[in-house]
Structure 1
Amino acid sequence: MGVKALVLKSTTNLEHEEWLKYRNKGLGGSDAGAIAGLNKWKSPIVVYMEKIGEAPDTKPTNEEAAYWGNVMEETVAKEFTRRTGLKVRKRNAILQHPEHEWMLANVDRLIVGKNEGLECKTASEYLKDEWDGEEVPGAYLLQCQHYMAVTGADAWWIAVLVGGNKYIYKKIKRDEELIDYLISIEKDFWNEHVVKQKPPEIDGSRASNELIKAMYPDSDPELELELDTNAEQLLQSLNQMKDEMDELKTLKSKYENQLKQTLGDAEKGFTNQFIVTWKSQERRTVDSKRLKKEKPDIYEAYCKVSKSRPLKFKEAK
């Protein structure tokens, strides 16, 4: 392949804040999937805010999973060596593409004696289907191809501990067509958005939802805005969608009722393609109004206050 990565900064004894500063000098492997719209934890607008240094200081939605991913990295790497016989080593540096300076890489491991690397992951049991057969989740596939673009590696291995008790490892071959695609979209993102400080269009992902909540947590009762024609179009679209969703909700209820009528007293039914259940179950709830009236001290002691800013709209009269 010929491409050999430059060392932007050694990470040996590098403080976390300093590491973040250098990391934001370009786009890393996890950013690649986000820019392509395949990362469920990060959206393009979140990447943009991070790179210009204006991302709010919030805990990630998957903080616990991220913590255990870091803790288990060494274990996953050691098990990879035990199962494959391939020795690995750390590369304690932020690597940089020699031609595209905005392409960076913080790799987990490099394979000793081979032009290959290793990415270590942990995954929830609920995501096990994403790893069936030869499948690799899209965001991770792009992450590994990004690393190959930066380092010039011929292949990249990915090892994952699923649900804490199932170990999977796979080899991803270098894909020049996919690498060219990554270079293209990353170059466009960096030059057209980060350099020009022009934010990309916000999307409907959970990551974008969390970003908006963190940026604008409280409303100002004294502030009103006259919205532009773009906002008018968005509201018209939302209004139309609301009517369509109401119709779909009614249709959904109709189909469900027809199935319930068919099941009658039966708890379970099946077709060639589906299994359906209609089980009896109990749910206990606390009568909060009565508790507040009869035991106000207990109510206050266990009352949990949550903040939100629901978006509501109606047609002006």
Structure 2
Amino acid sequence: MGIKAQVLKSTADMNHEEWLETRNKGIGGSDAAYIAGFNKWKSPVVVYMEKVGEVPKASPSNEEAAYWGNVMEETVAKEFSRRTGLKVRRRNAVLQHPEHEWMLANVDRLIVGKNEGLECKTASEYLKDEWDGEEIPMAYLLQCQHYMAVTGADAWWIAVLIGGNKFVYKKVERDKELIANLIEIEKEFWEEHVLMQVPPEIDGSNASSELLKAMYPDAESESETELDGEADKLLEALEQLKKEEKELKERKSEYENRLKQQLGTFEKGFSNQFIVTYKNQERKSIDTKRLKKEKPDLYEEYAKVSSYRTLRYKEAK
């Protein structure tokens, strides 16, 4: 049984801008984990902004990572074929689910002679533990299930080059229940948010914080506004969290101090379950106050000005 997906558009002669425009006509495999809340690098609201064409330009560091991921894709695919004996081929098209037209897939490779595909990845050495044993990062697991949903494939392979010197490949079997849940989540996101032009709620992820900084970098001087009824609830919740945070910090400090007391002048200690160290460390830093006073010209030459906005609140009188 072959791949069932329809072809939305060929990517053979498509430039990057056209590709971005096409993928924003629906939900792709890499969007799945973001929408489901399983990826810290991008939140549902950022995906929404991309789909409606309002997202700020990607940072150079993100573009660099994407560039090298694309460059290494061919290397990873060839190594996968060499190690498994499975032949792979490109599918130069944006594929579309036969029933859910908003469900798209731009797959890396298809396995020749099988109803299966291949996703090629590169990963940092710092993330190697995420690939131990049978483990696959949830974001990539959902991406593979999304591709199987779109194409009707029975399985999807994932191959990853970790730290530039460790190669791992694993097979992901089709999970009908997971696919059904994924379709439901994506359908709600597309129909209730993107098509209705209603953004999902901002969450506490770094991605949402970065998006807000990019959207509203500067405050209009002396400007004021009335906040809605939800603001008081949020502020009351923040006040409660601030009290709890203070209590937790004090408790944390107490527990650390009790351990320091037990260690005394010893650098390392052992419990039944843990190894504890209490080592001497040195850190060099610039005395900026002295530098500014004694060498003001040098201070001004190397001083760096950062612009940012700080959220503060106090009870109205």
TM, length-normalised to structure 2: 0.96
**Contact conserved, 1:3 with 1:98, CA < 8 A, in 2?**
no
SS in 1 for 2:67: helix
- Give, in whole Å, the separation in 2 of the partners of 1:75 and 1:99: 34
Runs (5+) with no aligned partner, structure 2: none
- Per-residue deviation at 1:316? 2.1
**Contact conserved, 2:3 with 2:115, CA < 8 A, in 1?**
no
- Give, in whole Å, the separation in 2 of the partners of 1:311 and 1:129: 37
Runs of 4+ in structure 1 displaced over 6 angstroms?
none
- The reply to whether residue 45 of structure 1 matches residue 45 of structure 2 is yes
- Per-residue deviation at 1:2? 7.2
Matches within 5 A, 1:68-107: 68-107=68-107
Question: How many residue pairs get matched?
Answer: 317
- Give, in whole Å, the separation in 1 of the partners of 2:261 and 2:315: 39
Aligned to 2:137: 137
Aligned to 1:59: 59
- Per-residue deviation at 1:3? 6.2
TM, length-normalised to structure 1: 0.96
- Per-residue deviation at 1:295? 1.9
Aligned to 1:194: 194
- The reply to whether residue 17 of structure 1 matches residue 17 of structure 2 is yes
Aligned to 2:27: 27
- Per-residue deviation at 1:245? 0.3
Runs (5+) with no aligned partner, structure 1: none
- The reply to whether residue 217 of structure 1 matches residue 217 of structure 2 is yes
CA gap 1:85/1:162 in 2 versus in 1, 3 angstroms: same
Aligned to 1:152: 152
Q: Please, which moves more after superposition, 53-62 or 249-258?
A: 53-62
**Contact conserved, 2:2 with 2:115, CA < 8 A, in 1?**
no
Letter in 1 for 2:10: S
Aligned to 1:110: 110
- Give, in whole Å, the separation in 1 of the partners of 2:303 and 2:12: 47
Aligned to 1:238: 238
- The reply to whether residue 281 of structure 1 matches residue 281 of structure 2 is yes
SS in 2 for 1:214: helix
1:95-142: CA deviation from partner (whole Å, max 9, x where unpaired): 101110000001111111111111011111121111111111111000
- Give, in whole Å, the separation in 2 of the partners of 1:313 and 1:71: 48
Aligned to 1:257: 257
**Contact conserved, 1:267 with 1:279, CA < 8 A, in 2?**
yes
Letter in 2 for 1:314: K
**Contact conserved, 1:41 with 1:62, CA < 8 A, in 2?**
no
- Per-residue deviation at 1:60? 6.8
1:163-196: CA deviation from partner (whole Å, max 9, x where unpaired): 2211110000011111111111111110011110
CA gap 1:203/1:61 in 2 versus in 1, 3 angstroms: farther
- Give, in whole Å, the separation in 1 of the partners of 2:160 and 2:204: 28
- Give, in whole Å, the separation in 2 of the partners of 1:56 and 1:263: 51
- Per-residue deviation at 1:281? 0.7
- Per-residue deviation at 1:157? 0.4
